[in-house]
A and B are shown apart, each in its own frame.
Chain A
Amino acid sequence: MTQFAALLRALSEAGVEYIVIGGVAASIHGSVRSTLDVDIVYRRTPENIRRLVLALTPHHPYLRGAPPGLPFRWDEATIQRGLNFALTTDLGDLDTLGEIVGGGGYDALLATTEVVHAFDLDCRLLRLDRLIEVKRAAGRPKDFEAIAELELILARRRSSAS
């Protein structure tokens, strides 16, 4: 089971610069669809990669779906030489993404984010309109239902604001 708040807390308390995307961002925006993991885009600076390592190491990150016993090390070299990691941790499943299709990396996404305060922490997530755009850009048929729901939420939000 993924402890959504605990995962975000671990990242925030370590000072990791990250943006929540995917199903958790959709839920925060009002989606009623369920999700099993947390997806984040992390900033790929050496300092932030170091913070990401420190944040997750106590929670034993490992490559999700990989056979046990592989010589995987959650360290700065591994992250610097890779980009996107689908992880399982003691707090649940976490996808740490250096870049996403249609959105790029942390710095490219930053202008289209917002910060929500919940569980005594500030959580930066992708804005609803941008979340729809990146889901559309990914072009995955499995996302069509989610996009439909998010567009209806956006339409409601805009109509209530006007």
Chain B
Amino acid sequence: MTEPGRSSIDDIIDVYKRDVDVSLIVENLKRSVEERLERLTAFQSFIEEMRVARTSSDR
């Protein structure tokens, strides 16, 4: 049952919190803003390359 002052959305978000990998957050918070954005770009680049590779292997 939802506690007073809270909504069912709060309860749902609490369920999601159980699955958040806090250790990843802790490591990420040690990085600078530039490092965080560079990791985003690097991840995108990796995914792009993998998609191209997968498309090539389908041919």
Contact = CB atoms under 8 A, between A and B. Distances in A.
Interface residues of B, number: 27
B33 interface: yes
A1 B29 contact: no
Contacts of B44: 1-2, 34, 36
Nearest to B17: A148
Interface in B8-51: 9, 12-14, 16-17, 19-22, 24-26, 28-29, 32-34, 36-38, 40-41, 43-45, 48
Contacts, number: 74
A1 B48 contact: yes
A140 to B, nearest CB: 11
Nearest to A116: B33
A116 B31 CA distance: 14
Contacts of A10: none
Given A2-B41, A35-B40, A156 B29 contact: yes
Interface stretch (A25-33, A45-53, A61-69): A25-33
Given A30-B29, A145-B20, 18 more contacts: A2-B41, A4-B41, A27-B37, A27-B40, A31-B25, A31-B28, A32-B24, A34-B43, A118-B33, A118-B37, A119-B37, A136-B9, A144-B16, A148-B20, A151-B17, A152-B17, A153-B29, A156-B26
Interface of A: 1-5, 24, 27-28, 30-32, 34-36, 116, 118-119, 136, 139, 144-145, 147-149, 151-153, 156
